[in-house]
Amino acid sequence: MASEPFDLIIIGSGPGGYIAAIRAAQLGMKVACIEKDPTFGGTCLNVGCIPSKALLESSELYAEAKHNFKAHGIQIDGLKLDLAAMMARKDKVVKSLTTGVAGLFKKHAVTGVRGIGRIVDPTTVEVTKADGSLEQLHTARILIATGSEVVIPRGFTLSGDRIFTSTEALELNEVPKHLVIIGAGVIGLELGSVWNRLGAQVTVIELLPRILNGFDGELAETGRKLFSRQGLKFLLGAKVTRAELQGETVTVDFEDVEGKAQRLECDRLLVCVGRKPCTRGLGLEAVGVKLDRIGRIEVNAHYESSVPGIYAIGDVIPGAMLAHKAEEEGVACVEQWKGIAAHVNYQAIPNVVYTWPEVASVGATEEELKASGIEYRKGSFPFAANGRAKGMGHTDGFVKILADKKTDHILGAHIIGPRAGDLIAELAVAMEFGASAEDIARSSHAHPTLAEVVKEAALAVDGRPLNL
């Protein structure tokens, strides 16, 4: 290890950390990135975004072949699931990307350090190596990008592949007979979709009276109906009180929406009630870094903590726990040190659920606009009236655009339908540039494409859709 001090030491190599490291190196900084796990990439690349999306894609193709190919004139005899091969493909995708991060570090002369980092003072980080040895690194600045970890409800005991979290749900070697999921958020719905497609009976228990808390209500309700049609069963407004493993059977006790005691038995229980900032062991309290009431690091507009020279981004600070949010914060944080007028527009950060159909949102929901007393106009258009969607055989869902009643500036956009996660990008860019619904409506969209639904929704804001 070089004895000269670094310009920047980053703790954590997830999307926020490794992107910040690369951008800092591009700007001429001498950078080290500390990672506690054997591979770079953090939760996202190793046990989160990437492996789950690989399984979602594979299971989606399997479901298409099983249920929809016949309508396209494609006959398949003896369709068979090879779960081991599917998992191997997922692992190959993960390996290629984590190896890619290591390659990017080498290309940009970022020093990758394996071990657990602890902040000694604003210019010193102590690293505990796998063999127990200690090494102190010195730096001008420290950036904390340690991400988040799974929340385990009080009273729950994890048990291998029977009672587990999202990490273990990506590694099952057989399809569950009955998978019960606690939590109807993004992770629960995505993993529930995977195993439902592959043949499991899936029951989702949610404390709130709706799924996808935080998303637009109309979007979430439409999603519930569509996912229910696919076979997912929802128990909403239900509170799980106990889960116990007896042999190979998991017993789940809960109170239903009316407060009555109920019981379910299953062979697998997935606990995904949320995530929390991963800040333990960093030495934050000892150096005086302030945390908020739920353990997030308090930062100013420049991502600097209460201790000068110590910065934080991503899941450890307030805001949505999204990989792309962390990336944007990492870039903005390091660019400002070089006098670049960097910023993150938090109103234009999209959020996507990679179910089928996909669910995607950016900006304000209708509920938020109503609560704020903001007058708005709404334009909505269904995929059922789109030629490309009909040709694909996927016509469920709609695009909804919310625009300021006076200025027509887009305040929010919400999509449920085929490739919603890709379509939302146009609206995120539009909001970043302060576009109006009329700007979208006047822009030419290729025909026939799914993007035409976005244009039609923009036209509908003004009450003039052309194909409905």
Residues marked as catalytic: 447
DSSP letter assigned to residue 419: T
What is the SS3 assignment for 39?
coil
Q: Is 10 helix (H, G, I), strand (E, B) or coil?
A: strand
Q: Which residue's entry shows tokens 């001498």?
A: 30
**Residue 315 has which token pair?**
């899941």
Residue 260 CB contacts under 8 Å (≥ 6 apart), including other chains: none
| Contact of 265 with 99, CB cutoff 8 Å | no
Strand ranges across the sheet with 410-417: 351-353, 358-363, 410-417, 398-404, 376-382
Q: Which among 372, 180, 159, 191 is positioned nearest to 266, based on CA atoms?
A: 180
Give the closest residue to 212 by CA, choosing from 326, 367, 372: 367
**Buried (b) or exposed (e) across 341-372, using 16+ Cβ within 10 A?**
ebebeeebbbbbbbbbbbbbbbbbbbeebeee
Structure tokens at 80: 């068979």
Task: Please give the structure tokens belonging to residue 374.
Answer: 């903001």
Strands 124-128 and 134-144: antiparallel
Query: In one letter, which amino acid is 398?
Result: F
**Contact (CB, 8 A) for 271 and 187:** no
250 in Cβ contact with 266 (< 8 Å): yes
- Comparing CA positions, the residue from 248, 87, 242, 241 lying closest to residue 162 is 248
Residue type, 12: G
Q: Which two tokens stand for residue 271?
A: 């606990």
Asked if residue 448 has a cis previous peptide bond (ω within 30° of 0), the answer is yes
User: What's the chain's Rg over C-alpha atoms?
Assistant: 24
